[in-house]
Each structure stands twice: as structure tokens, then as C-alpha cells.
Amino acid sequence: MSSNKPDGQHDLIIVGGGIGGIISLKYAQDAGLDAILLEKGDAVGGLWRDLPAWQDLQICKEDWTLGDLPIAGEDQASVLANIHEWVKRFELAPSIRLGTRVNSARPANGGWVVSADGYAGHSKFLVAATGGHNRPVVPKIERAHPTLTEYHSSALRDPSELTGKDVVVVGGGASAYDLLDLCLERGAHSVTWVYRSLKWMLPTLRRKYHASNLRALARMQMLGTSVATLNKRTHLDLRSRYKKAGLNDLTPDKPIDIGHQMLIPGRRTMIQNLEHIARHCGEIERIEGNTVELSTGQSCRADVVLWGTGYETDMSYLEAGDLSRLTRLEAIGQRCGSYFLALDAPNLFILAPRVLETITSTPWAYAHAARSIMSHIRGKPVFDSVPVQTNANYFDLVRFLAKRDRVNYPYGWWYLKYLNLAFRQPGDRPMPIP
């Protein structure tokens, strides 16, 4: 596109320097776009820059990385190093502005006016790559002179603080499962688990990131297996696994629906020590001193309360009507056409809805999305204004985009290429960079 623009004018502004923003910048440069990425922190990495060192992936490292971009392990430091490698490998640093928090982005004259710390710019297009996990959620409850310690899962820096302590873990999803494992591994004196409802997990006695088999899912998807059939097979398999592992009491109320839910890998330490965890189906209503009062009328003493209650999405920097007030990925996804094109403002793409909390590799999903977004920006329409009501899991995203983006998915050839990848790419080798 235009090559001689005044300072502060670009074809594309990308907000957010996590893995989604970095990958978007790579594909923008591949497409010959004048793009700039604005990141509020002093380094790239997004959520992975801020997470404690004990946090790790839900999938194996071979499914996280792409091509020959190195990753040493599934731990937080390795993932962060992998994100930095994208910047180094594709020489993205000159187009990244660090320490530049975006305060507002508003539509104007068919484009976007962006105001940030020390920066003001204009672009035709905007990519919101601030993720879906940028505002930790801790429920508002009554507190009366609390003497215990509270941490959200993203704020527990030193797990040794749990050793010998009475710990209450709150939540029924991935973060809570991680915290339960952490408490048991670090020798907490007692563990109490409080949850309002439970999400499906895949029981395993292996490390969690080796529990899922994305390659098997890819093969079924490329053979055209319907989501309904996958749901039925998965549900029967999970019920059998729950029974074998003695987890019938933890069976969620509704069948698994991978069109709207993640399938979380199980946590082996939690499964092996379930009898040592006091469980309460309810909520914390009040904390007084070191006493935690539950909605069931019961109470317990605690030294530490760990909130495994997930995240919200902060879109308040966007001046885009109702969209800027939404905080849940599901709701934001309903305001996007073809997964990524915002309906509330022109020339706005949002990466996270429908692909972040899914059964997939996040870099894989972002790479395919970003490549098609750049094709759309270059004038080959890919996305329309029709919302998709289900999540895009792994190779299903490829199948969706291939029907719309003939530049990147040539008719016929694309199917043979991805069918070959699904069946022949070894599990110990990453998928190629699209």
C-alpha cells in the first residue's frame, strides 16, 4: 500500500504485543503493509510476560510453536522466549513501540485515530490483539478485617508460600485445577476446593500438556467429521475416563460441546489425591478474619485463598459502541462477522474471540487468521458480517478460511496440503508456519 506517509499514519495499527499481535505484525510486513504495533509494557509477551514462572501450557511444546522457531519446554519462560524469537527471526522490533499504552481508538474518516502514551496516529485498519485474558477476575464479596492472604492465579509468584498452609482454592476450570495441583505438590497442610460449577477435563496421569491429542483431532476434522459426531464420541470417551479414574462426582452437568467449550487436560496430582481435598459446591460469600464463609452455610479456616476464577477482556480503549463494554469472549464473538471482523466499527479485526478458549494451538490459529486478515486488507475480501455461533477448533479454522480466502488457500490444493499435514506430520514436529 502507500509507502510515503507522514509520521503517525499507517495502513494498520496493531494493539497488543502478545503472541497474537506479534504474529499479526509478521504477516502485515509479509503483505507489504505499513504497520506498527503498540504495546503497553516494556517488553513483548502479553499475558505470558506477566504470568508467574510456575504457569505452563495446556498443550505440548510441539503443538505450541510453529516451524523451526525453538521452544525449550512448556514452562512460562520457554513460551515467553518463543514469542521473543518471533520478533528476532522476522526482524519485527523496528515496528514495535513499547511502553505505549493505548488510551483510545476511535473510528474517523473510514479509518482509526489512536491516542496512546507518547503517541498519536491514524490508520485505515486496526487489529485488536489484546487477548482475552487481560483483566483477572476476583468476585466481589464482603470482607471484614481479613487476616488471610488472597491471590488470583496470575499473582501467586512464590508457591512456597503454600507449604504447611490451609488453602482454599476457588473455581471450576483450568486455573483452579492448576492451583489444586500446586497446593498438593507444595505440601499445603489442607486444601479446600470451592466451585460453583465444573468444566470438562480429560483425566490423565501424564503431564497435562501431553494429555490432549491435537493431531488426532486434525485428522477427524480433515475427513469431515461433524462437530455433533465429535461431541458424541468425546462425551462417551470422557464418561468412561471419569468412571475409570473415580471422578464421577466431578462430572459436569451438561455434555461436552466443543463448539462452545474447551476440553481442559486433567491434572494428575489432583486426580491421584482427590480424597485429600475437601470439596464444596457453592461460592464464598464472606471472609472475616481468617474464616471463609460459604453460600452452603459452612465455613472453614484458611491461611490463603487462591482465586482460580479466570479473566475478563478489557476492550474499553475502543470507541465502538456496545463492543467496548463487553468483557466476555463469547459475547465479543457474537459481535464479529466471520470470527474476526467487528460489526460495531469499520475496518476493525479482533483476534481472540472464538479461537483463544478452544481446542487448538493459539499460534496456529492466530497465524492463519492474521494471514487472511492481511489478504482482506490488501483488497481481496475474506470476511463478511455474518457471526459464527461456534468456536473454531484447530483445523476447522483452516476449513472455514479456505472457503473465503482463495489467495492463501488455492482451490483443491489447500485441501491436499492440510490433509497431508493432518495425517503425516509427526507428533514430535511442529506444524509449519502458514
pLDDT digits (tens, 9 = 90+) for 365-392: 999 999 999 999 999 999 999 999 999 9
Q: Tell me whether strands 111-116 and 119-128 are parallel, antiparallel or unpaired.
A: antiparallel
Q: Tell me whether strands 291-294 and 284-288 are parallel, antiparallel or unpaired.
A: antiparallel
Cβ-based burial of 110 (10 A; exposed 0-12, middle 13-18, buried ≥19): exposed
Q: Pick the last residue of a domain from 251, 280, 310.
A: 310
Neighbours of 352 (CB within 10 A): 28
Fill in the amino acid letter for 272.
Q
Residues 287 and 399 in one domain: no
CA dihedral (14, 20, 25, 28) in degrees, to 10, reads -90
Spatial separation of the C-alpha atoms in residues 299 and 280, rounded to whole Å: 10
CA dihedral (61, 225, 416, 399) in degrees, to 10, reads -80
Domain presence at residue 297 = yes
Domain presence at residue 317 = yes
Residues 220 and 324 in one domain: no
Residues 357 and 395 in one domain: yes
Residues 377 and 271 in one domain: no
Total domains present in the chain: 2
Residues 278 and 351 in one domain: no
Evaluate whether 230 touches 293 at the Cβ level (below 8 Å): no
Residues 163 and 302 in one domain: yes
pLDDT of residue 205: 87
Spatial separation of the C-alpha atoms in residues 160 and 156, rounded to whole Å: 10
Residues 336 and 403 in one domain: yes
Domain presence at residue 1 = no
pLDDT, one tens digit per residue, over 167-218 is 999 999 999 999 999 999 999 999 999 999 999 999 988 899 999 899 999 9
Phi, psi (degrees; rounded to nearest 5) at 110: 75, 5
CATH of the domain at 177: 3.50.50.60
Q: Pick the last residue of a domain from 260, 280, 310.
A: 310
Residues 152 and 299 in one domain: yes
Phi, psi (degrees; rounded to nearest 5) at 274: -60, -30
Residues 130 and 266 in one domain: no
Domain presence at residue 433 = no
Fill in the amino acid letter for 6.
P
Q: Pick the last residue of a domain from 288, 310, 332.
A: 310
pLDDT of residue 5: 59
Residues 261 and 318 in one domain: no
Neighbours of 364 (CB within 10 A): 26
Domain presence at residue 208 = yes
Considering the chain, what is the average pLDDT of its residues? 95
pLDDT of residue 3: 47
Domain presence at residue 2 = no
Provide the residue range defining the domain that includes 355.
9-134+313-424
Q: pTM for this structure?
A: 0.96
pLDDT of residue 351: 97
Which residues of the chain fall below pLDDT 50? 1-3
pLDDT of residue 227: 94
Residues 330 and 401 in one domain: yes
Is 125 strand, coil or helix? strand
Is 3 strand, coil or helix? coil
Residues 255 and 168 in one domain: yes
Neighbours of 273 (CB within 10 A): 16
